[in-house]
Structure 1
């Protein structure tokens, strides 16, 4: 019998690329893909567990599914599933919980399970010790957007004190360079014009699929191969979030001299206080970060630079916050992604004291979001009147279309079919 499946994704772009790959796998296995707000036989939720809100949202989504189709099979996978499988299995309506090693065996598990609880009551859990997770499963997102997120790396060997990702994703491991180039060929054949390279710790690319026990190559060698690869069709590449200590001079210089890699970096900072960076167990200090930004702007004054920041980390004083604000205010950056710290089980930071009151965390978040608004407005206005290359996307909304310039400035224009999925010269 032809069964239908619907997917919902929480969290990062990497999750979206994996959900897209799972969807293609199930379609090849005979499933009919449906939108998540439609009635389906199977619902798959690919979860995140970076914030407490993601956990709560998962529960709310399961309740909505039960109201829509109480007989549906509900599968939970992703980071939350790996970290707290028993907690998820206890949610009423969940039938199957797949950990990190079983996510890409979804089709096999669905053939073995029928709607309703597993034998003995409760959900069936198919998880494993995260230390046993190995192998690399490539994935990319393909939908009605012209930009595609291509996973080239997974896992993380860092031990930041606030982060559960190594427990959820396992050791750092990567695709091969040839595997990445093969995926780019497939995307080019599908008409994709822009590929965003993504991973959990992207700059650590090169560790083998054996759980990171060997290093075969480097991130620089990967982008060097991509830049010189002759895949017809893919005109633009972007580097997603990359750690400042892994963003080397040679990577920056390659992007500066490339016609295919866009002048756009997203570099996590997390705090502008060296004291807090130490407590976070980050592998750099603010001077290194400032040096990275300075070199980028020296070689590419028009480059867009995004920054991740966490506010309210345990022990963060008003002085630490002021130091972060001043540091970011003076940096030649373009926008911020601001995260409010939330305690995560099994992290060192959860035991640190003193905890910052939640209302103080929220106020600090607001302060930096306001700074981000000012930074992006200044960056955009500085390019007003300039002609940049813009890739327009498929979606039409109220007669308008959107696209992004090479340096990541959002552009809106009246919808014109002939500009869809095309890179055009555009006066900002």
Structure 2
């Protein structure tokens, strides 16, 4: 029996689900999963481009695995291939599989496969228990789309994930029905960005959410990575759906309320829609936890702009993640590098923001965290839901 090995990884939720599906594909085609790279017929090195540290870790992982296995046998998989193809080619001459083109590339790994990758159901679980921040199989994930619609000037993720590719509503509903049979308590609708879900199919997120909620009333829904542009497009229809007390978590990353900085970020300013939208949801849904993300220390950001963003965030959101900006020479925002604040000033602003948020009674955490930090955040989030009567 041939065997495959998957390295450790720093992947985001959407890509952990993707690689779990890849593993399932190998298994249904008769492959075993090896414990070590050296013992595998096909060792696969998993890569991530989420932050500079994760990019560095991924290149180091390639180097380490090349010492353990034949370069011809090694497969480099993931965002590094799309974000840094030339750099990957300099260190690896063997097979690569990209996230952005996985559907057209992955079957080449098992040319004689009886079951094609497209015929393997999407995974709702990660490959290993260690991949979870909090291991709880009553909470499972449904990846509704890969890639991203937008082209934010600072984003490390888009170059590695490519443009948005939405699944069909029928496909998503079938996955949710399978989860209901296993008494799943929470369904997380996720993706690198979810707000523009379905446009290529002539549908939208609101229509998909309505179909998911209609499957059964036994589970709650969490929504991740929903950009403010979606609020602008679906204000009334989506607002009414989120008034359902079965929707208990909603992530709406605003990054900043400064129109000037949003233009530099290549993001539309929908701040005027966000506040009324949150108020509309809370009119009937007192159970929901609404979260956002802020980028702090953007080049030329004034303290007034930062404080305006913080004041808005603590007014409308229960939890705020604070991210220190990372500029990269490969990204459009690098043109602002000459105005970049020193590391010490960026860190000072992150701490200032965190203290401001906590002083106003909201939950704060800083971005680029390790899993231990995020496990603590998730546990606090659960406590917050319990305090609102949310199991």
TM-score by length of 2: 0.78
Match of 2:224 in 1: 240
Residues 221, 47 of structure 1: CA spacing in aligned structure 2 closer, same or farther, 3 A cutoff?
same
Change (3 A) 1:335 1:42: farther
SS in 1 for 2:54: helix
Question: In the alignment, is the contact (CA less than 8 A) between 2:97 and 2:106 conserved in 1?
Answer: no
Contact 1:335–1:373, Cα closer than 8 Å, also in 2: no
Deviation at 1:109, TM superposition (A): 3.6
Hey, what does 1:206 align to over in structure 2? 198
**Aligned pair partner of 1:304 in 286, 289, 297:** 289
CA distance in 2, matches of 1:199, 1:190: 23
* 1:191–1:303 CA distance, 2 compared to 1 (3 A): closer
Assess, with a 3 A threshold, how the Cα gap between structure 1 residues 403 and 348 changes in structure 2: closer, same or farther: closer
Spell out structure 1 runs of 4+ moving beyond 4 A.
34-41, 104-107, 135-138, 371-379, 402-405, 425-428
1:194-233 aligned at under 5 Å gives the runs 194-208=186-200, 215-230=201-216
| CA distance in structure 1 between the aligned counterparts of 2:220 and 2:35, rounded to whole angstroms | 29
Cα distance change on mapping 1:187 and 1:360 into 2, 3 Å: same
2:349 counterpart residue number:
364
Q: Distance in 2 between matches of 1:362 and 1:91?
A: 33
Deviation at 1:285, TM superposition (A): 3.9
Taking the aligned partners of 1:404 and 1:359, their CA distance within structure 2 comes to 28
Matched, 1:409 2:379: no
Kept after mapping to 1: 8 A contact 2:257/2:269: no
2:99 alignment counterpart: 100
Please state which structure has a larger fraction of its residues in strand.
1
User: Residue 357 of structure 1: CA displacement?
Assistant: 1.8
Higher relative contact order (CA 8 A, sep 6+): 2
> For each residue in 1:48-74, what CA deviation from the matched residue of structure 2 results, as whole angstroms up to 9, or x when unmatched?
32321111111233344456x344843
The residue number in structure 1 matching 2:132 is: none
What does residue range 142-153 of structure 1 map to in structure 2 within 5 Å?
Answer: 142-143=125-126, 145-146=136-137, 147-153=139-145
Query: Which digits, 9 at most, give the CA deviation of each residue in 1:65-110, with x for residues without a partner?
Result: 456x344843322222111122123336x74322235434666443
Q: How many residues align?
A: 360
- Give, in whole Å, the separation in 2 of the partners of 1:195 and 1:36: 33
Are the structure 2 counterparts of residues 426 and 322 from structure 1 closer, same or farther at C-alpha, using a change threshold of 3 Å?
closer
List aligned pairs for 1:29-428, cutoff 5 A.
29-34=29-34, 40-66=40-66, 69-71=68-70, 73-91=73-91, 95-104=94-103, 108-111=107-110, 139-143=122-126, 145-146=136-137, 147-208=139-200, 215-230=201-216, 235-247=219-231, 248-258=235-245, 261-329=246-314, 331-352=315-336, 353-373=338-358, 408-410=381-383
Contact map agreement 2:148 2:158 (CA 8 A) in 1: yes
The answer (yes or no) to whether the contact 2:3–2:34 under 8 Å persists in 1 is no
CA distance in 1, matches of 2:148, 2:175: 22
Structure 2 residue runs of 5 or longer lacking an equivalent are 112-117, 130-135, 365-375
**How far has the Cα of 1:371 moved from its partner?**
4.2
- 2: distance between equivalents of 1:36 and 1:289? 48
For residue 391 of structure 1, what is the aligned residue in structure 2? none
Distance 1:348 1:101, change over 3 A: closer
- Alignment CA distance shift 1:371-1:103 (3 Å): farther
Contact 2:221/2:249 (<8 A) preserved:
no
Give unpaired runs (5+ residues) of structure 1.
Answer: 113-134, 209-214, 380-401, 413-422
Residue 237 of structure 1 aligns to a residue whose secondary structure is strand
Q: Given the superposition, is the C-alpha separation of residues 267 and 85 from structure 1 closer, same or farther in structure 2, using an over 3 Å criterion?
A: same
The answer to whether the 8 Å contact 1:138/1:152 transfers is: no
Shift of residue 218 of structure 1? 1.4
